[in-house]
Amino acid sequence: MDSNSPIGVFDSGLGGLTVLKELRRLLPHENFIFVGDSARAPYGSRTPEEIISFLQQFMDYFQSRGVKMAVCACNTMTSYGYPVIKDKTSFALVPMNPAIIPAFKASANKHIGVIATEATIKKGMHKQAASNLDPQIKVFGVGCPKFVPL
> Domain for residue 65, yes or no?
yes
Q: Do 104 and 89 belong together in one domain?
A: no
Can you give the pLDDT at residue 96? 86
Can you give the pLDDT at residue 1? 64
Domain that holds residue 57: 7-94
Q: Do 90 and 106 belong together in one domain?
A: no
> Domain for residue 2, yes or no?
no
Which residue type does 61 have? Y
Per residue of the chain (150 residues), give pLDDT as tens.
678 999 999 998 888 999 999 999 999 999 999 999 989 988 888 899 999 999 999 999 999 999 999 999 998 899 888 889 989 999 999 998 878 888 988 999 999 999 888 888 988 988 998 999 999 999 999 988 777 666
Q: Do 86 and 27 belong together in one domain?
A: yes
Q: Do 84 and 113 belong together in one domain?
A: no
Q: Looking at 75, 94, 113, which one is the last position of a domain? A: 94
113, HSE (Cβ side, Cα atoms, 13 Å): 4
- The domain spanning residue 78 has which CATH number? 3.40.50.1860
Strand bridging mode 7-11 / 32-36: parallel
Q: Do 51 and 105 belong together in one domain?
A: no
